[in-house]
Structures are given as structure tokens and as C-alpha cells.
A and B are shown apart, each in its own frame.
Chain A
Amino acid sequence: MEKIRNFEQVCNILARYERNPNSLISILQAVQAEYRYLSEEVMTFVASSLGISPAKVFGVATFYSHFTLQPKGKYEIKICDGTACHVKKSIDILDALKQHLHLTDKEHTTKDMLFTVETVSCLGTCGLAPAIVINEEVHGLLTPETAVQLVKDIQKSEALANE
């Protein structure tokens, strides 16, 4: 029933912005918050509802890096690669997580849709370098090993929850 709730939310979002095409960016932000990404079908739905062309919506969605067209995992891991984290070897953490989760340069999300691993420019927590954020939670002063351990803990609790 989650999808029904999602979809009703999209209808509510469109109604809240009075189907005004000038509010496209705000609408897309709200829709992405609902689905965690923007699918072709939903973008076409939004375009038709606003009376603009889907190509225009696609243009806006691909222009801003805030928007994502790929479904993201349940846990979004953002590895800080700002200057402070970078000199503290954040890339080693990225490589370790990618290896652990079998991700590549092109694939950022695991097949089980649990994890998405990405880099961000600066989290503003340089005192904790190298730092990562998992969903809303910040973890600092990490090594590749402690970072992988965080992921292993999540995997363990997810496995338990599924039993």
C-alpha cells in the first residue's frame, strides 16, 4: 500500500502547487522526497499534469545534481571528499565500501536496493575528517575498516529484521 500513498502524495503535491508549471522545481523536489528518485513514468505524469512537455521536465531533472533518476538504496551513504577528508584518505574509505558492497564506478546502488554509495564535496564537519553520512547520521574519524564495520552492522540488523 506504500505505492498508493506515494501516488496520492504526488496528487496532493500537484494540488498544493496548483498545477503551476512555474513551480516545477519545487514539485520535483517534493516528488523525489516521496519516491526517493524520479522515474520516467512519474516525470511524464508531472509533465502532463502541468501541461508542459516531458522533455522540459527531463531537462530540469538532469540539470540539477540534487535530482536523481535512479532509485536509491534504503541507506544512502555519502562519503565526504572535501579537502580535509580527502587528505585524510576518504578515497580509501570509498574504495573499501565499494569493494565490500560489490559496486563499480557506474553502479552506485546495491542489487538488493539496501545501499547507495556516493561522494559529496564537503559536509562541513572537517573536524571529524574523514567523515561519512548514512542517511541523516554523521560518522567521523573513520578508517576503511570502521566504515565497513558500520555497513556490516546495518546488514546484520537488516538480516535479523527479515527473519
Chain B
Amino acid sequence: MNKAKITIDNQQISFSDERNLLEVIRKAKIELPTFCYHSEMSIYGACRLCMVEVEGWGLQPACSIKPAQDMVVKTNTSEVRAMRKMIVELLLASHEVNCPSCEKGPDCQLQKLAQRLGVKKVRFENSYQDRPVDDSSPAIIRDPNKCVLCGDCVRVCSEIQHVGAIDFAYRGANATVMPCFDKNLDQVECVYCGQCVRVCPTGALLPKSEIGVVWQELHSNKTVIAQMAPAVRIALGENFGLEPGTITTGKIVRALRRMGFDYVYDTPFGADLTIVEEANEFIGRWQQQEKLPMFTSCCPGWVKFAEQYYPEYLPHLSSCKSPQQMVGAVSKNDLVKNHKLAPEDIVMVSIMPCTAKKFEAKRPEFSGAYGKDVDHVITTQELATMIKEMGLDFNSLEQDSFDLPFGFKTGGGVIFGNSGGVTEAVLRYTSEKLTGMKTDSYIFNAVRGEEGLREAVLTIDNRPLKLAVVSGLGKAQELIEKVKAGEKYYDFVEVMACPGGCINGGGQPINHGLHTKQKRTSGLYDNDRMLQLHKPQDNPYISEIYETVLQKPGSTVAHEMLHTHYHPRKRIQTDDVSITETSPENKLVISICFGTSCFLKGSQNILHSITQYLKMTGKEKYIDIKATFCYEKCEQGPVIKVGDQILTQCTAEKAIEVIENSL
């Protein structure tokens, strides 16, 4: 059978099931410019940069049409070139053009395109109006002055992550991407995963920089410790012209020492420790058959997502702190106890591929007797900037090694950066612990792969162990809904907010090159193979810390230092709907949950009965009724709050009785 063909700039190109004409043109090795096209998201057709001339059809956006047999396409006519140039000029005319001091720097697609297309002069008057920058969140800065309205962030947030914290508001010249009601990011349901930062072509969404304060600490007399997440070592090189996946651990350690860090520790040590704690926690639950599936909790984006959308599953999350927080806690403890340093003189800086880690470090749960476990978090991008600021020639740096004891790790801790890594490390531990047998094998191919949702059933100790590995919060939501509905059963579920895991985090170098994700993933697996040890339980310094400090996994000391718990969280900081006229005499506030679950269980009837009762007894004026979401006790709905008292499985009679007693 003859293959279907089209002609692109006089070349014959065959095609089969490509998604659109744009993909076929890229197959012909022509890099059409786009802002709004990402293969993993829906086709939007907003930026109009991929316009091409199709014979018989005129100018068409290549992203939005299907290739057809014998189509004749021209991508480089004078009309097409003029139009692309004009689009860029128009964007620049409504843009805050302060490129030399913009943090996005050379990663800006708008700047790159203007140069690539030869835009030397913008023919239009600059009509940009200064709008306030939202720097409220600990993780992400939103600068509408730099936005080109491509909608990439909006789609990644709703389509991939199922959060939808930002969307287009207003229209025409006033259209702006913003959180609901023009609130700040820290007031809404944003989980700080930073996927919007990853896809933003300009400087409209950026990680919130902590570079300034880290330099300040380094120049002070304090003892400054660094720890580096696994995914940093295989991506940082991209900022210095290296291929994704190139392992540059030694050079990074060297750079950190040159910057003035007193100790350089490795987050995978914390990952090894997390595995020992988490695997034991899991074994306990699995044997007792309670709180299953157990969900991982090392991803702060996922934790916030669960707090907001699935509070009923919070007890299912592992109570282990993330590796970042564990390294912070144990190293501060060590420096205070063994090196006699004052807690206020120790600063822990972690280098993470992640914007949400900035939020995690500032959570009140993670402050102890020695202050915060982690004081500052910088992203991979920020570390690259610091190396450049210092003028270090990264590629010719010598190699150096981490400090002991918290710089020593096994491969099990390193693969944490890949989706599936935590599960694999748990399996490396659990399989030996439950069977009591040492083995040489350590690779579990069943949990590796690129799919956003992967399932596996392994037999351990003659029992089937049902696992799921999920990355991308949209996929996580699909999975939980199935678990909730009883369609699926798992014992252990690993969730990473970013598709592919931390290697694809919001703080990683901006890289739109092909196969970046895959190359970074194999970089971490290669790193694992190159290490002598692969199983967290074989790490001698893990054994040592249990002997000297933590006693045994799950001990009281371990719980104090390495575990935490999470709380239900309101999605949007907004008032509840007030149902009654409020006046100062209203003393008793009754809040009725109208979440879907409570509504279906009859909260409207309860409201009706309460108002009838108040009308009949003439007590309306003492009561203020509000409709609310949600007391996060959905399984015990309908839920009503009278004064400070929360009533679960409430009936109208029960509510009225409590109201009578309270008045």
C-alpha cells in the first residue's frame, strides 16, 4: 500500500496518524514557531504563529488542521513570514520589554522568536500598562506584564493537573490569566507544582527566587549546609550546554563548596531514610490490612492537592516527612548535638527541581526545636544562575564528593527523582525484609515506564502486592475516584504531581528539546547502576543513625524527628454564603455544609427544617446561617456546625436540639 504523502516546501513527506499538520511539518525538520502548542495538551490555536499556506485553503494554523493526502504546504512564503513577524511585533507592543533585567533571560521564547524572525524594530506604539505582580505565594511569581495569553499555563493546570487555579478572565484587551476573583496565588487552590512555570514561554510565571537571601547567608558567619535532590544532578548541566541526563554530581558539589557552603549533603540520604521508615510503616499497615492503599507523601504538590480535594484520604498518606525535610532534621540535630553549634547559627539550604518544595519548607509542621528543618529552597534553575553570577566555569570544574555522613546514599535514594522510583526503592527494602533473604537483583522493571498511570502486581512472601504508580495530578484524581468507587484496589500508591516525577519539576531548567524527560529519567537510572549500593537498608550510615539517634524504624524518636501529619485545607480563601440577614445581635452562627456529599445526604432539607423552626419560634434574630464547603468529614455527612460544635450525620431534629441548648 502506498503511504499517504503531502508536499511541504517541495519535499515529499509521508504521514500516518500524526495529530495535526504541525507534527508532520516538524517531521520534515522544519521548526515552526509556536507559543501555545504542546503535544501533551489540547490544541488551542491561540498564538497563530504556526500559520502556513496550504494550496487551495489559503493561510491555515498548522496546529489546528489535519494533514490530507496530496496537500501542498508552504511554510516560508513572504506572506507567512510577514504575518509571523507582525504577530511578534504586536506581542512586544503590549509587553513589558525589560529583557536585560528579566529573570527569564535567554530562556524566553518571545525574545528568541523576535531574534529568530529578524524583528529589528516594533512598528507599533507600546501600549502596555503596568499591572501588579503577584508575589504572594512562597513558590511562584505571577507577572501579568509578561504574559502573551498563550494559555499554556491554564491548560496544564486544568488538563494535566485537574486543579484549574488560574484561568482567563475578562475579555479583549483586558483579558488576563489570573486566579479566581483576581485573588493572589496564596489565597487559592494552587498546589505550587510549577508545571505552569515549566510551560510558560515568557517570564509571566517564574519560580520565586531565594538567590538573594542564600548569598546573604553564605556571606554571614553562620554554618550553611546544602543538600541536593536527585533530579538536580542530571538536569543542571542543561544550563551549561550539556545534554539532558548528563550526570554532573561531582561538579555541582565542587561549585557549592566554591560558593562557600560549609557542608554539602545529599538529599538521597534522606530518601534512603524515608524508605526505611515508610517501608516499615507500609509493612505494618499491610499486615494489619488497615489504611490501605497507603499513599506516598514525599511530593508536596500532591500533599496539598490531597489536603484540598481528598481530606478523607489524608490518614492513608504515609506519615513520613519528605527526604528534604528528613535531611534538614537529622543534620541540624547532628550539628547541634555533636558539633555544639547554636541552632540559630545553622542554615539549611536545599536545591530542588521543584517549586512546591519552597512551600513545603515553610509549612509550620516542619519547624522543630532547632527552627525550620530547611531554611531556604532554591531550584535547579536558581543554582545555575548562582553559578553564573559567581562566574564559575561549570564545565571545567573539578569533581568533588559529598560530606559524610549525610552525603552517602544508595541508588534507591537516587531513583526517587523518577516516577516509580519511590515504589521501586520500597520494593527493594520490603522484598528482603519480608522474605528475610538477601538477593543480588535490585531492578523492578514492573514499576518503570513512561505512562502517567502504571499498575503492577508482585508476589512478595507468597502474597500478592498490588501497586500503582501515578504522576500528574489529573491521573492521581482519576485513580482515587476509581478507588473510592470500589472499582480498583491497591495496597500501595506512589503519587508525583509532575508528569514523569521530579525530573520534570517546575524548578528544572527550561528545555523544550525532544525527549528531555526520557533522557533525564535514564540519567537517574544510570546513576543508580553506577553506585555500589542500591538498597537503602545497605547504607551503613543509615544503620549508624539508627544505632546512635533513632533507635529503630518507627520509634518515638523517629516519629518526633521524621514524621508529621496533614490537615484538611480550604481551597479558596473566601467567605461562606450568608443565608440570613446578619446583624450585630446575631449571636449563634450555624454553618451547613453544602458539599456534594452532604447535599446528597440532605443538607437542604435540614436547612429548610431549621429555618421553619426559627420562624415558628421567632428565634430568627439570634441566628446567622451560612452555607459552606466543607468540614472534610464527607463520609459522616451531612455535617453542620453550631457555634463551635461540629455535628456529623446530622438530622434536623439533632440540629434543632443543639440550637435550642446553645441559645
Query: CB within 8 Å of B: which residues of A?
Result: 1-4, 6-8, 11, 19, 39-45, 47-49, 51-59, 62-63
How many Å lie between the Cα of A41 and that of B163 in the bound state?
19
Minimum CB–CB distance from A70 to chain B (whole Å) comes to 13
Given contacts A45-B627, A53-B180, A54-B181, contact A59 B167 (CB under 8 A): yes
Other-chain residue from A2, A4, A51, A55 in contact with B625 (beta carbon distance below 8 A): A4
Chain B 298-333 interface mask (CB, 8 Å, partner A; 1/0): 000000000000000000000000000000000000
Whether a CB of chain A sits under 8 angstroms from the CB of B574 is yes
Residue of B165, B171, B625, B629 touching A48 (CB-CB under 8 A):
B629
Q: Which of B171-194 contact A (CB under 8 A)?
A: 171, 178-181, 188-189
**What residues of chain B lie closer than 8 Å to A59, measured between beta carbons?**
167-169
Across the interface, do B166 and A8 meet the contact criterion of CB distance under 8 Å? no
Q: Which of B180, B181, B571, B580 contacts A4 (CB 8 A)?
A: B580
Given contacts A57-B180, A58-B180, 11 further A-B contacts (CB under 8 A): A3-B578, A4-B579, A4-B580, A11-B599, A44-B574, A44-B629, A48-B595, A49-B596, A52-B164, A53-B163, A58-B167
Report whether B169 and A58 are in contact in the complex, using a CB–CB cutoff of 8 Å.
yes
Cβ contact within 8 Å between A4 and B604: no
**B581 pairs with A3, CB closer than 8 A:** yes
Tell me the bound Cα distance from A63 to B170 in angstroms.
5
Find out whether the CB atom of A53 lies under 8 angstroms from the CB atom of B165.
Answer: yes
In Å, the complex CA distance between A59 and B181 comes to 9
Interchain nearest-CB distance for B80 vs A (Å): 31
B594 within 8 A of A: yes
Find out whether the CB atom of A4 lies under 8 angstroms from the CB atom of B165: no
- Docked Cα-Cα span, A67 to B594, in Å, equals 24
Is B576's beta carbon under 8 Å from chain A? yes
11 residue pairs of the A-B complex, CB under 8 angstroms, read A1-B611, A4-B607, A4-B611, A11-B604, A40-B575, A44-B574, A45-B577, A48-B630, A52-B164, A54-B180, A58-B181
Knowing A44-B572, A56-B164 touch, does A51 contact B596 (C-beta < 8 A)? yes
Contact A62 B164 (CB under 8 A): no
Selected from B179, B577, B595, B604, the residue in CB contact (under 8 A) with A41 is B577
Minimum CB–CB distance from B442 to chain A (whole Å) comes to 42
8 Å CB contacts to A: which residues of B348-399? none
Which has the most chain B C-beta neighbours within 10 Å: A41, A49, A52? A41
Within 8 A of A (CB), among B113-167: 158, 163-167
A44: chain B residues at CB < 8 Å are 180, 572, 574, 629
Which of under 10, 10 to 19, 20 to 34, or 35 or more describes the interface residues of B?
A: 35 or more
CB distance from A66 to the nearest CB of B (A): 12
Residues of B within 8 A of A42 (CB): 577
List of B residues within 8 angstroms of A40 by Cβ: 180-181, 574-575
What distance in Å separates the Cβ of B660 from its nearest Cβ neighbour in chain A? 19
- Please state if B599 and A49 are interface contacts (CB–CB under 8 Å): yes
B632 CB to closest chain A CB, in angstroms? 13
* Given contacts A11-B594, A63-B170, A55 and B178 within 8 Å (CB-CB): yes
Q: How far is the CA of A55 from the CA of B190 in the complex (A)?
A: 11
Report the minimal beta-carbon distance from A60 to chain B, rounded to whole angstroms.
9
Report the Cα distance A11→B578, complex, angstroms.
Answer: 14
Cα distance A45–B572 when bound, in Å? 11
The CA of A63 and the CA of B169, in the complex, are separated in Å by 7
Residues of B with C-beta under 8 A to A49: 594, 596, 599
Asked if B158 contacts A7 (CB within 8 A), the reply is no
CA distance A6 to B181 in the complex (A): 22
Per a CB cutoff under 8 Å, which of B165, B188, B580, B595 touches A3? Answer: B580
Q: Is B262 an interface residue (CB 8 A)?
A: no
User: Smallest CB–CB gap between B190 and chain A, Å?
Assistant: 10
A54 with B572, Cβ < 8 A, contacts A3-B581, A40-B181 known: yes
Query: Nearest-CB distance from B573 to chain A (Å)?
Result: 10
Bound state CA distance, A54 and B578, in angstroms? 18
Q: Is B619 an interface residue (CB 8 A)?
A: no
Question: With A and B bound together, what is the CA distance between A51 and B600 in angstroms?
Answer: 14
Which one of B158, B188, B581, B599 contacts A56 once the chains associate, using CB atoms below 8 Å? B158
Instruction: From the candidates A11, A19, A53, A57, name the one contacting B596 in the complex (CB within 8 A).
Output: A19
Q: Which of B554-612 contact A (CB under 8 A)?
A: 571-572, 574-581, 594-596, 599, 604, 607-608, 611
Which residues of chain A have C-beta atoms less than 8 A from B615's C-beta? 1
Interface membership of B620, Cβ < 8 A: yes
Q: Lowest 5 CB-CB distances: which A-B pairs, in order? A: A53-B164, A54-B180, A55-B167, A55-B180, A59-B167
B594 partner residues in chain A, CB cutoff 8 A: 11, 45, 49
Give the chain A neighbours of B167 by CB distance below 8 A. 53, 55-56, 58-59
A39 contacts across to B, CB distance below 8 A: 577
Q: State in angstroms the CA–CA spacing of A56 and B151 once bound together.
A: 13
Closest CB in chain B relative to A2 CB, distance in Å: 8
Which among B166, B574, B611 is the interface contact of A55 at CB below 8 angstroms? Answer: B166
Chain A residues closer than 8 Å to B165, beta-carbon distance: 53, 55
Q: Please, how many angstroms separate the alpha-carbon atoms of A55 and B188 in the complex?
A: 9
How far is the CB of B412 from the nearest CB of chain A, in Å? 37
The CA of A42 and the CA of B576, in the complex, are separated in Å by 8
